[in-house]
Amino acid sequence: MTSIDHFGIIAPFYEKLIKPKTPVELLKHLHLPEKAVVLDAGGGTGRIAALLIPHAERIIVLDESYLMLRQAGLKARLSGLMAVSEMIPSSDGVFDAVFMVDALHHVSCQEQTLRELFRVLKPSGRLVIEEPDVDTLAVKLIALGEKLLGMRSHFLSGRQVAGILEDCCRKAEIYRKENTVWVVVSK
C-alpha cells in the first residue's frame, strides 16, 4: 500500500482525526505580503491553507492525492492542483510564499521537492518547511509507527533539511518549538 492509498482512505475524516491549530508560527515565518499568492505544497485537504485565507489573495493547494484535494475543494477560496511536489506544473517565480506543513517526510525525493518549491518562489518570497522534529522522542515514535503502517515516510532533521536547502538554494534558518521544526529560506 502506498502513501496515496493511506491518505485517500483517510481523506473524508482526516480533519476530524487531526485537528488543525491556528498556524501562528507558520504565519510569523511566511511574512505574507498584501495580496499574496501562496502555494501549500502537500496540503492535502487544505486544512492549514483554509486558516490562511484571511491573509492571502489566493491559495493553491498542491497534492498528489485526488481524494485529499477533493476535500480541499469543498473549502471556499482554495484552488487544488493535483501533482507531485517533485515536478510542480508551474512557471518559475510565481508564488509570494510557499509552505509545506507535515508533508516533506512523505515525498519520494525530498531534495527535488525542495528545489521545486524554491523554483516556483518569487524573488523576495519565503519558503517555509514545517515538519515534526525527528530529534524528539515523540516524533521518533511517530516515525516508527508510520513505518509499521507501510508508509513511505522518511523523516529528516531540521539540520538535514537546512543542509539540502543551503546546497541547492540559499542559507536556511531553523526554528524549533516543542515537537515541531521550521526551516525558513528567503529568495
Per-residue pLDDT of the chain (187 residues; tens, 9 = 90+): 344 455 655 545 555 556 667 789 999 999 999 999 999 999 998 999 999 999 999 999 999 988 889 888 888 899 999 999 999 999 999 999 999 999 999 999 999 999 999 999 999 999 999 999 999 999 888 888 888 877 778 999 999 999 999 988 889 999 999 999 999 999 9
Alpha-carbon span 44 to 41, nearest angstrom = 8
Query: Which pTM was predicted?
Result: 0.87
Q: Which of 113, 142, 148, 137 is nearest to 127 (CA)?
A: 113
What is the predicted pLDDT for the residue at 3?
44
Contact 11, 65 (CB under 8 A): yes
CATH number of 3-10+32-186: 3.40.50.150
